[in-house]
Amino acid sequence: MTEAPRILIVGGGYVGLNTALRLQRKLRRGEARIAVLDIDSYMTYQPFLPEAAAGNIEPRHVVVSLRRALDRCAIVNGMVTGVDPVSRTVALRPQLGPARVMEYDILVYAPGSISRLLPIPGLAECGIGFKSLEEAIHLRNHVLGQLDLAESTSDPEIRDRALTFVFVGGGYAGVEALAELEDMARYACRYYRTIDRGDMHWVLVEATGRILPEVGPEMGLWTLQELRARGIDARLETLMKSAEGGHIVLSDGTEFDSDTLVWTAGVKPNPLNQSSGLPLDERGRIRATAELVVEDHGGVFTAGDCAAVPDLTKPGEMCAPNAQNAVRQARTLADNVVAVLRGRPLKAYRHAYVGSVAGLGFGKGVAQIYGRKLHGLPAWVMHRAYHLARVPTFDKKVRVLTDWTLSFPFRREVVSLGALSRPREEFERAARSGPR
Ligand SMILES: Cc1cc2nc3c(=O)[nH]c(=O)nc-3n(C[C@H](O)[C@H](O)[C@H](O)COP(=O)(O)OP(=O)(O)OC[C@H]3O[C@@H](n4cnc5c(N)ncnc54)[C@H](O)[C@@H]3O)c2cc1C
């Protein structure tokens, strides 16, 4: 008896999880063996990271367990280090032990993107991104920890530095992260006797002349005015020149110190692309056809942030790297994998951008979706309804809805659990103090 074809899925994010979910639903038992390879054992629903950072959603409710959601797939955790399309193998390095080489008949390649850093002095040492749950929760604890520090110190310089928060990049990740964290810190201020909202200095640095291009120029301008009305120091057409030792220097000549530098100035395709043996475009993305097949590599599919997929609604352009495309591409991709297995024709991916929604804090939002422009409370409700409908698995929808419901009567928790990242500190102190 011949073995069922082996499908390997590199990356269990938006594309990987949604492709695997659809494949396990559509394929008959024994029609194929599916394995999902990812560093983590969960998929992160990134649009909820700002709300997780703000404490509106429990961290565990922002992620989906791959093992739980994909009960008909094998989950293999480790770092994929290379792909060899000639021998049809993928190299994987588990956390411990020898590297593995895994064979495939069909490959779904979707390792996404990483933060795009610029060679700015001090950035790599002092900055942090906002792409993972770990970063979001660290920032939540850090911001609240800075308020604790500011209230405890008698040194005005340390206090000012602790209360200065800098975000570079005015896309949805930067604007939502800043707006949600500022909203949380503003709320937390009521529990600090010596810190007033006006003592904090929240700075948004954006290189171009607009923010939040995802919601269009009109709503982008509205967002800018809303942030400024909240006291946020939003600087357009400004670059960060240096951040050495936390001393921030901007291109408009402003200089100040800060312990918080969040870098959200864009993403680039996963560097794994370079060692994938697959064809790349000038930006380092995997070249794909509209059917989501890698050019000249039948049996290898790709989609999402790592790929250059032609946008059939805008001839000559490529699909933007966003969740909207990733989810829909995953659907077409899974259908095309099934089509290959069953000897049927493939279909092309075609999707016209429907707009975007963004949360700007509790009860505040902005949206431009299906041509409708909204701001304030209606946009916030739309933002929540949209993402609740989109977050994978029924279980997560119920948990997120419960978090939101509970936050109405009980408001948010404003405690910093920064020590969670140093769990052995207390024990080591005890060890140093000796037996008596
Ligand atoms: C804060 C934030 C908010 C956002 N909000 C929105 C929004 O409101 N609307 C919208 O449309 N888009 C939004 N996006 C963008 C959206 O999340 C991405 O476009 C989407 O996640 C891309 O999906 P993907 O599957 O290509 O990559 P990902 O979802 O990032 O998945 C990639 C997976 O590959 C794994 N991986 C990477 N390298 C390796 C390796 N070497 N070996 C093994 N596994 C690997 C990763 O662990 C990850 O699980 C947001 C992004 C961020 C960061």
In the chain, the percentage of residues whose pLDDT exceeds 90 is 91
Mutate to test the pocket of ligand 1, among 275, 305, 369 (most ligand atoms within 8 A of CB): 305
- The token pair that represents 281 in the structure block: 């475009």
The pLDDT value recorded for residue 98 is 96
- The token pair that represents 144 in the structure block: 């609240």
- Cα 189 to ligand 1 centroid, rounded to whole Å: 33
CB 30 within 8 A of CB 4: yes
For 82-106, the pLDDT digits (tens) are: 999 999 999 999 999 999 999 999 9
Mutate to test the pocket of ligand 1, among 19, 21, 37, 38 (most ligand atoms within 8 A of CB): 38
- Cα 320 to ligand 1 centroid, rounded to whole Å: 13
- Cα 147 to ligand 1 centroid, rounded to whole Å: 31
For all residues of the chain together, what is the average pLDDT?
A: 95
Tell the residue number behind the tokens 């790297």, with chain if given: 321
Tell the residue number behind the tokens 């250059």, with chain if given: 308
> Hey, what amino acid is at 409?
P
Tell the residue number behind the tokens 């709320």, with chain if given: 187
pLDDT category of residue 410 using cuts at 50, 70 and 90: confident
CB 403 within 8 A of CB 411: no
Classify residue 393 by burial, with Cβ atoms within 10 Å: 0-12, 13-18, 19+.
middle
- The token pair that represents 415 in the structure block: 């405690």
Angle at 18 between CA 15 and CA 22, to 5 degrees: 135
pLDDT category of residue 416 using cuts at 50, 70 and 90: confident
Closest ligand 1 atom, CA of 42?
Answer: 49
- Cα 321 to ligand 1 centroid, rounded to whole Å: 9
Closest ligand 1 atom, CA of 14?
Answer: 25
Pocket of ligand 1 (CB under 6 A): 11-16, 37-40, 43, 46-47, 49, 79-80, 110-112, 130-131, 172-173, 270, 272, 304-306, 321-324, 326, 356
pLDDT value at 289 more than 70 = yes
- Cα 165 to ligand 1 centroid, rounded to whole Å: 25
For 82, other C-beta atoms within 10 Å of its C-beta total 16
Which residue, by CA, sits nearest to atom 27 of ligand 1?
Answer: 112
In the chain, the percentage of residues whose pLDDT exceeds 70 is 100
List phi, psi (to 5°) of 430: -65, -40
For 191-205, the pLDDT digits (tens) are: 999 999 999 999 999
Distances (CA, A) of 163 to 100, 142, 153, 211, 324: 47, 11, 12, 23, 35
| Cα 145 to Cα 152: distance, rounded to the nearest angstrom | 11
CB 302 within 8 A of CB 110: yes
pLDDT value at 418 more than 80 = no
- Cα 9 to ligand 1 centroid, rounded to whole Å: 15
Stretch 253-276: mean pLDDT: 96
Q: Give the global pTM.
A: 0.94
The pLDDT value recorded for residue 414 is 83
The pLDDT value recorded for residue 1 is 59
Mapping DSSP onto H, E and C, the string for the chain reads CCCCCEEEEECCCHHHHHHHHHHHHHCCCCCCEEEEEECCCEEECHHHHHHHHCCCCCHHHHEEEHHHHCCCCEEEECEEEEEECCCCEEEEECCCCCCEEEECCEEEECCCEEECCCCCCCHHHHEECCCCHHHHHHHHHHHHHHHHHHHHCCCHHHHHHHCEEEEECCCHHHHHHHHHHHHHHHHHHHHCCCCCHHHCEEEEECCCCCCCHHHHHHHHHHHHHHHHHCCCEEECCCCEEECHHHEEEECCCCEEECCEEEECCCEEECHHHHHCCCCECCCCCEEECCCCEECCCCCEEECHHHEECECCCCCCCECCCCHHHHHHHHHHHHHHHHHHHCCCCCCCCCCCCCEEEEECCCCCEEEEECCEEEECHHHHHHHHHHHHHHCCCHHHHHHHHHHHHHHHHHCCCCCCCHHHHCCCHHHHHHHHCCCC
Stretch 213-241: mean pLDDT: 96
| Cα 424 to Cα 168: distance, rounded to the nearest angstrom | 33
Stretch 280-289: mean pLDDT: 97
For 8-49, the pLDDT digits (tens) are: 999 999 999 999 999 999 999 999 999 999 999 999 999 999
pLDDT value at 224 more than 90 = yes
pLDDT category of residue 390 using cuts at 50, 70 and 90: very high
Mutate to test the pocket of ligand 1, among 8, 322, 354, 388 (most ligand atoms within 8 A of CB): 322
CA dihedral sign, ordered 333, 337, 338, 344: positive
Q: If we measure between CA atoms, which residue out of 135, 190, 199, 194 comes closest to residue 167? A: 135
Closest ligand 1 atom, CA of 45?
Answer: 17
Which residue, by CA, sits nearest to atom 20 of ligand 1?
Answer: 323
Strands 286-287 and 106-109: unpaired
Stretch 61-80: mean pLDDT: 97
